[in-house]
Structure 1
Amino acid sequence: MHIKIFSIWLSFLLYDVALSQEQIKILHQWIPPNCERKVESGDSVRYHYYGMFEDGKHFDSSYMRGRTYNTRVGSGMLIQGMDDALLGMCLNEHRIVSIPPDLAYGDEGTDGIPGGATLLFNFVLLDISNEDDTVQIKTTYMPENCERKLKDTDFVRYRYNGTLLNGEEFHSSYDEERTYDTYVGQGWLIRGMDIGLIGSCMKERRTITIPSHLAYGVKGDDKNIPPAATIRFDVEIVDFHNPDDEAVVVTLSQKFGSANNNEKKERARWVHPILKRRNKFADGSEDAVTCPRKVEDTDFVRYHYNASFADGTKFASSHDNNHTYDTYVGFRRLIAGMERGILGTCVGEHRKITIPPHLGYGEPGIEGTIPGSAVLIFDIYLVDVHNPKDEVKVEVIRDPPTDCERKAAKDDYLTYDYELELMDGTKIDSSKNREGTWATYNGRGRVILGLQNMLTGMCVGEIRKGVVPPHLGFGEPGADGIPGSAVLVYTVELHKIEDSLPNGMLFMWKEGKSEPENLFSLIDDDANGKVSIDELMSYIVKEVDAGNGKLLPGAEKEKTIENLFKVMDKDEDGFLQEKELEFPTPQFEGIIGEKVDDEL
């Protein structure tokens, strides 16, 4: 430092500036490029200096004392020449001055300084302040959105670099890789920092310059901050909250807001016909949509989320796992702020939930993931919601015909088309994407219970849409292509209702028809005492075509008859003996053949 000052001295041309009746000589002067303030009479200053005689002999130095010289200019605490030498100086300015004896210690001298001595002072100004100074705030970055400003009694987390006025760093939270966490206006901070933080926004960066009387005063902090020092903090606000804060909910989704025709068409595809609602957005706009069901206490929800801190740093996301977060609400399975914030949400709604730490993970946080006292922000998208008490909710999309004489009942064989999607509109499956006719036995466990409930009571030509909760669907495990605990939305159109056969039967005689007494001889065309598969096939097809018998609905005739032959061919010799020719009874649990009802 000493060598640097001396080299700077030699690097400039010597010149004189007359002050105090032209008796002080400025032998060298270096002025910094930016000079925001100059020393005036009455200012307090801190500076380092070397004191020398004209022959270069040293007589005093603040450097040797290990501390700056702190004084007030024009107060009589300095020799007149030094008072004059300091006036007009800028922060970090370097001067070398020559002070004649009449502006120093005169003809009498003082300890160590002979009478009549001209003194040279080589000094650099490190601090300027005044008792009238206030905290100076300069915003260096302001986020686009400032939903709230920090106020008295808030708890704030911020990062900072702390420097003295000359730029010398005394402390930094970045070095410790953590935020500084404290209450504002409760005496936990120096007064100047309290003043400097109030009014800041989350993510804002500001420079706070604090005069010593609002900082650590004439004593300093006995560690890194010298006495009477003006200090400067470059602050980055991470987050803040108040102990009285509740979770703040803002609807972010613009799928339902006011829009032009093209935007409305785009948004409309997100709105399920049964799941419409009225949505109010952060900008105050609304759209008339119906939400017959909102999340309530004890409901089970499935939602996607992105979780971040208030400064935007992400710490978790369900999208990273490609799986929704599935849980009950109201059973303390969620942090309190999320339980409160998700209540009232509609399916398809996108919410931002801001959670103060006392409703989140508190002062401890979660080691390695969530810092203590952190404000959390969850952007959630509700996929579906149900309650264990829910039943199937059915809406008739197309009314049944006025001449409907028969409605689907238990054990009927039903032919229909269906479309399946999740509650948020995600397409899962459609019978129209498959080949052949889609059919099932109603009430035999061939379909999920919720779909069975939808089908029962339908007329041919009717279209229904139903919301099926998971306990009447595929439950917690889910199925191929269907997430666990998913609420399902079916759209069903019924095409045909047929009488079914009793469970376990492949063929039976129609009502009013009975099995012929000479059945074996009627089937055994070549009278060789055994029935081949072709003979059985020919006979049953003839009887079915004649309206005397009925095969299992929904299956190919040939396949059904082949399976029936296998059931009766006990010795598996490829022929039926007379004792083997016995059609299965309703109680018989045999092979029932291939069906077309293996759908979802």
Structure 2
Amino acid sequence: MEYRQLFIVGFMLMCLAIPVFTDDDVEIEVEDEGDDDKKDDVAAMPPPEIEWENIKEVENCKKRLSNDDSAGIHFVGKLESDGSVFYDSREGNVKDDWTSFPMGVGESIKGLELGIIGMCKGEIRRIVVEPDMVKNGRNVFDPEDGVIPRGKKLIFEVELMEMGPNYVKGLPNMFKVYDVNANGQLSHDELKVYLLKDGTFGPDGPLVDKLAQEVIDKDDRNKDGILTWKEFSGPKHDEL
């Protein structure tokens, strides 16, 4: 029983790959090294094709957000054409939950993600995103049922609330790994194929059946026994 529970915990952690923030991850002391620091600051900023400006700066910044971190942000999204607000992460947000995502793996809007590179915790930045950079995204940024308009020039006012380690970048796209027949859906049998190929849990039998079913049940929102790309909560990206 203990062996099976250990597998389930490890397997679920790999699938979930949720960013975790701790004070130890954030509070990294950086000594003043003069010109070398200035070069690092320039390298850490958004690429030249991204239009941005700081609305609120932070003095004595100890660590800047990089493409290898996870970010937690509050943001207001506006249409550039008329300034109308299409999303405000603080509106109606009783718990003050911010939006978190790993950098560099396509889980947020590409132009927004590139625009927040180099931010310090507590800094507020205005980022202009051209229509061709309003792509990618999961959850609130989802192309189909998220809240971000597509095909329009957008303005984001972003406050960096937290940064931490990125446990997703570098992981394989597990949806593609499991999807043996490449039909965009994961079945119980496909998960069994993966577990049996791994060989850790022995030959085909009740244990492998149960483990595969538990992975399905964890994400199967409509209870049809199949996991779609949108339902699957594990790593399912290609790195940018």
TM range (shorter): 0.3 to 0.5
Return the TM-score normalized by structure 2.
0.45
More helix by share: 2
Return the TM-score normalized by structure 1.
0.19
The structure whose Rg is larger is 1
Where relative contact order (Cα < 8 A, 6+ residues apart) is larger, the structure is: 2
More strand by share: 1
